[in-house]
């Protein structure tokens, strides 16, 4: 891709500052912010669901940066839908090649509404097992998690193979299906099970 033709798509939801703790006459603004490691657009490390699993500080950065394959699944955008093995089989070679997969459903349109957390689309166990077996390094979704109810087991399918999970992405459906240059680097939390990320894609 030519540099002059490239553009950057912001895939992170906006965060709001809690309050300023700066005092006059100091001109600097200092913001105090309180949140969990799984707030907004964030990354899950294996420690989130696996005892003695990998922490955010131990994740190799090359897993979080580089070419990713964007896969559009608009037919899996409804409440209770599952990402199935059959959704990924036609794209197996692209997933193997890129090792980072971003799922586009348009679900982020529900951000900041009650529907966002209500029975959102997620991976079936079979679907998760299939793409993990392709040698995946990272999976990114627009939803707040990778499954609304089978949370623990589906996470562990990815974490047993040290696949990084990025949740709460935004605007993925605005990206073209195919290759993008993706970044979602975590904070280096010693002992951290997750981290907010600034996710973006260069097209």
Q: What is the CATH number of the domain that holds 48?
A: 3.50.30.50
Structural domain range at position 176: 3-202
Q: Which residue has the tokens 């006059």?
A: 24
Give residue-wise pLDDT tens across range 152-184. 799 889 988 999 999 999 999 999 999 999 999
Task: Show the beta-strand stretches assigned E in 100-163.
Answer: 100-104, 122-123, 138-140
Alpha-carbon torsion, ordered 78, 185, 48, 82, to 10 deg: 20
Give residue-wise pLDDT tens across range 120-156. 999 999 999 999 999 999 999 999 888 888 877 998 8
- Count CB-CB contacts under 10 A for residue 76: 20
Its pTM stands at: 0.82
**Tokens, residue 98:** 């890129």
Q: Number of structural domains, the chain?
A: 1
**Are the C-beta atoms of 138 and 101 separated by less than 8 Å?**
yes
Give residue-wise pLDDT tens across range 77-114. 999 999 999 999 999 999 999 999 999 999 999 988 88
* Torsion sign, CA atoms 60, 61, 67, 68: positive
Task: Report the DSSP pairing between strands 82-83 and 65-72.
Answer: unpaired
pLDDT-based confidence at residue 2 (cuts at 50, 70, 90): very low
- What does the alpha-carbon distance between residue 21 and residue 192 come to, in Å, rounded to a whole number? 26
DSSP annotation string for 148-165: SSSHHHHHHHHHTTT-EE
Omega before 25 within 30 of 0, i.e. cis: yes
Report whether pLDDT(50) > 90. no
């Amino acid at each position: 891709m030519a540099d002059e033709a490239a553009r950057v798509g912001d895939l992170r939801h906006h965060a709001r500052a809690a309050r300023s703790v700066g005092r006059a006459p100091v001109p600097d603004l200092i913001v105090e912010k309180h949140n969990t490691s799984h707030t907004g657009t964030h990354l899950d490390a294996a420690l989130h669901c696996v005892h003695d699993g990998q922490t955010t500080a131990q994740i190799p950065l090359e897993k979080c940066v580089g070419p990713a394959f964007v896969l559009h699944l608009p037919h899996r955008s409804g409440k209770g839908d599952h990402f199935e093995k059959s959704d990924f089989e036609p794209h197996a070679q692209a997933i193997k090649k890129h090792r980072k997969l971003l799922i586009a459903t348009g679900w982020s349109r529900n951000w900041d509404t009650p529907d966002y957390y209500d029975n959102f689309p997620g991976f079936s166990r079979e679907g998760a097992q299939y793409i993990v077996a392709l040698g995946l390094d990272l999976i990114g979704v627009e939803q707040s998690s990778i499954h609304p109810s089978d949370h623990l087991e589906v996470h562990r399918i990815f974490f047993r193979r040290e696949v990084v999970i990025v949740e709460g992405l935004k605007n993925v459906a605005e990206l073209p299906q195919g290759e993008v240059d993706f970044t979602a680097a975590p904070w280096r939390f010693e002992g951290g099970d997750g981290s907010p990320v600034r996710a973006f894609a260069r097209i």
